[in-house]
Amino acid sequence: MNAPVISPGGRIDTKQAVKPVRIAVLTISDTRDEESDTSGHVLAERVKAAGHDLADRAIVRDSVVEIREKIQAWVASGFVEAIVTTGGTGITGRDVTPEAVEPLFDKKMDGFSVIFHLVSYQSVGLSTLQSRATAGIIGGVFVFCLPGSNGAVRDGWDKVISAQLDSRHGPCNMVELMPRLLET
């Protein structure tokens, strides 16, 4: 008999099949290319290993315009259901992901940042203060913005995002909300 698997903040009902979510991965970096994009690779592999569809993957520079163009194109496609970005959430002058993405949010998920920092603190201690990880909804698409390190991507996906994008996660998950995100 399959017993539910305990996950952060809930249970995974292993008797049910995973409902795949179409997830796009966006790396934001002035220095990475397809070969050196290790955090994008880690994220893409985890998305697929969780049973989801990797809808697309791209790299853009730390540019408000480029970040917005790519995210808005994915949202407008009607195909992508969630976007996870990696990079550009720090506090240096070139880190502009929150400035690019947050004005696009129809709704911001304030709790994401709080929970991300809690799990990140367990890994990197007070260095988590240097991250401005954020999340929200744009045009019915979930958008999660993670830092660019492999460790931050693992923490963000493994300990926060994966359970909420798993249709089997209880007592609730974001997948069950997807049909209602554009309600008026």
Which H helix or E strand runs over 56? strand 53-60
Residue 6 pLDDT more than 80?
no
Q: Can you give the pLDDT at residue 13?
A: 87
The number of distinct structural domains making up the chain is 1
Strand, helix or coil for residue 151: helix
Whether the Cβ atoms of residue 116 and residue 109 lie closer than 8 Å to each other:
no
Query: Which residues constitute the domain of residue 97?
Result: 19-79+87-138+148-178
Please indicate, yes or no, if residue 61 is contained in any of the structural domains: yes
Q: How far apart are CA 179 and CA 2, in angstroms?
A: 29
**DSSP state letters, 157-170:** IIIIIHHHT-TTEE
In this predicted structure, what is the pLDDT of residue 74?
98
Within-domain flag for 125: yes
Q: Is 13 inside any structural domain?
A: no
- Within a domain: 4: no
Q: How far apart are CA 30 and CA 45, in angstroms?
A: 22
Residue 160's pLDDT is 95
pTM exceeds 0.85 for this model? yes
Q: What is the CATH number of the domain that holds 34?
A: 3.40.980.10
* pLDDT higher than threshold 60 for residue 4: no
Overall average pLDDT of the 167-184 stretch: 94
- Condensed to tens digits (0 to 9), the pLDDT of residues 87-135 reads 999 999 999 999 999 999 999 999 999 999 999 999 999 999 999 999 9
